[in-house]
A and B are shown apart, each in its own frame.
Chain A
């Protein structure tokens, strides 16, 4: 079951055309399905939040920004084993996976297999081995920089393996540039100022991400500001994986804009 996402005021279509992507593409002109503050599905995913498994590439806005992890984990099937491959350099720069932080309370991962590899070549091999095992829920591979081993052929191999065996693959690029790739969806994810904390105005609230889909097959690119839907709504009476509309918590527009302009 994946967590739902909801749009945040100031996100969605309003900021799409200003994005750094290709403004000439027709996809940017299309309106976003779903209104701000409502439940929203990522492009290329169905109602349950799971798309057909394929290779998605995710660029962290900066190596010192860990925000992508929350964005990604919300889309991973937590009921099945998760294979997480980290290159040595990615561990040094961005830290090692910390299992207690992976699940919001009550939503932990059933089984996590962590693999530490020396270089990108070994990381790609380990990812491909993982993708061949249909019992795995998702394979996440973190690669630092722009290694020579990570070319179009390598990413295409991963995409084909992911689609053939039905295992979702996430290629996370830390400090890398968007070169030629066989990935079906390519994201650029940065953290955004978080929502208001319900109890403490000085504390960081629910995480917010500025996610830009700059290339996708079968979906329109765009740029959104999104957050997970609150856990209390998810645990409501609906069937697991079902989506429903969520009001964006808090009234933060005023303070947010002031801070941005200031």
Chain B
């Protein structure tokens, strides 16, 4: 992206296209021109010359200070966005992005189509992008900056490029040009031995040439652009002591919380990994209901889990990583002291979930259904904070409003307790659809003294199979006053099975 800085400035400032503007930066001997608009370039200004020189050529030149940090942030953002084309993306210098396109191009219909797609997308953003595809990263770098061609392989593609495409320090380039080696093709013709003798180890053009031609590896170090906060502890010697993990945790937690604080993040999920000498990794994880970076709480959450790490022949490194983070700004405690109640409850949920398992500590969640066991579901409490901060995004999981338009409750009463699986009971009742008189549940006879019903709940045909039968629910009370919620599944002659079957589903309090 050769004109990134000036294009970004033009977009932000909304200046007319014919404005003669130069972005200037501080140099060692005065202000230097960093980037210029097309109009200013036509008037004589070029990037790299001094501002005074440019002013001499064009007294009407407007100088604007350059915003290097903003440009870098834009490149980083673009690099993340460029992962739409390839999973391996790297920021390359101040104005470049490097993609590892191996095994990717066919998804976009070949390399040429990929290049066209990239150029089109950048054009939509209002940015000029020069795209090149090559077998090596060095060749692609050179082609993108110094050539008109967009694809090419091997020596014949890069031979006409100037030696500046080798990505070497300016002093080395100047030396090569003084020697008359102006293009890469010329450089290839020089005996390798003399080149190796002439230049220093670090910036030898031979190495650069080999990298460009694929004789030396130049891997793409596509580090995640926004790596999760991670604390690392290396041990001088492997430690097989079972309590080592706990001690390591005590060292890692403050380190991690410092990183979280610097980035204004809070951890939702933490993973402590112990790396063993025999090539095994032992992992302990914990989750938080509310993002947090309080060392005491994190330490307490993971401290019990450290005992589950099997040291084997010994650990030689530990990492603590916050793999799920959320923005967390510093919050003010209440004046009367102590954390807010919602936070306290979240901490309690965290502690219970770590010890008992996240699927055992749950909050109720309503679903839009009239079938009782479907209407009231459960969801792990760590996944969702208290209701005051969680936004319900899915309308289908909103609590069921069981009210008729008149405002009366349609579901008059529901039992306090529901059996996980309704239990079949033997019932004497006035056939075909009368009230139950007596039933046997768990080998005991209950005489029904009073009964109310039926409340008919039809099967949900859009969810269930066609053989699902309707349910007639009754509230019944036996002679001793115990009240149950029972239902008859099906009707006589509904064509969905034999005689109706009775089930006991819930107990009233």
Contact = CB atoms under 8 A, between A and B. Distances in A.
Interface of A: 62, 64-73, 80-81, 83, 91-92, 94-102, 105, 110-117, 122, 125-126, 129-130, 132-136, 190-194, 197, 200, 202-204, 207-208, 259
Contact of A191 (B364, B413, B482): B482
Given A98-B415, A101-B415, A122-B355, 13 more contacts: A66-B482, A66-B483, A70-B509, A81-B345, A95-B419, A97-B416, A98-B376, A115-B356, A125-B355, A129-B352, A193-B449, A200-B452, A204-B475
B480 A111 contact: no
Contacts of A96: 417-420
B507 interface: yes
B450 to A, nearest CB: 5
A134 B419 CA distance: 31
B418 A64 contact: no
Contacts, number: 181
B435 to A, nearest CB: 8
Contacts of A71: 509
B381 A102 contact: no
Contacts of B452: 197, 200, 202-204
Contacts of B416: 66, 69-70, 73, 97-98, 101-102
A143 to B, nearest CB: 15
Contacts of B363: 111-114
Contacts of B345: 81, 111, 113, 133, 135-136
B481 A91 contact: no
A67 B361 contact: no
Contacts of B420: 91-92, 95-96
Contacts of A194: 450, 477, 481, 483
B442 interface: yes
Contacts of A116: 356, 360, 362
A97 B449 CA distance: 26
Contacts of B414: 98, 100-101
A119 to B, nearest CB: 11
A200 B352 CA distance: 46
A95 B509 contact: no
Interface string B205-231: 000000000000000000000000000
Given A100-B376, A133-B347, A111 B449 contact: no
B351 interface: yes
A94 B508 contact: no
Nearest to B444: A64
Q: Is the interface of A mostly helix, strand, loop or mixed?
A: mixed
Most buried by B among A65, A66, A204: A204
B419 A68 contact: no
Interface in B475-499: 475-477, 479-483
Contacts of B118: none
Given A113-B381, A193-B449, A203-B450, A101 B352 contact: no
A135 B375 CA distance: 28
A198 B47 CA distance: 91
A95 B419 CA distance: 4
A66 B378 CA distance: 21
Nearest to B476: A204
A126 B414 CA distance: 27
Nearest to B505: A95
A32 B342 CA distance: 41
A110 B363 CA distance: 11
Contacts of B375: 100
Nearest to A131: B348
A95 B506 contact: yes
A115 B360 contact: yes
B196 interface: no
A87 B362 CA distance: 14
B244 interface: no
Contacts of B338: 134
Nearest to A81: B345
A205 to B, nearest CB: 8
B417 A202 contact: no
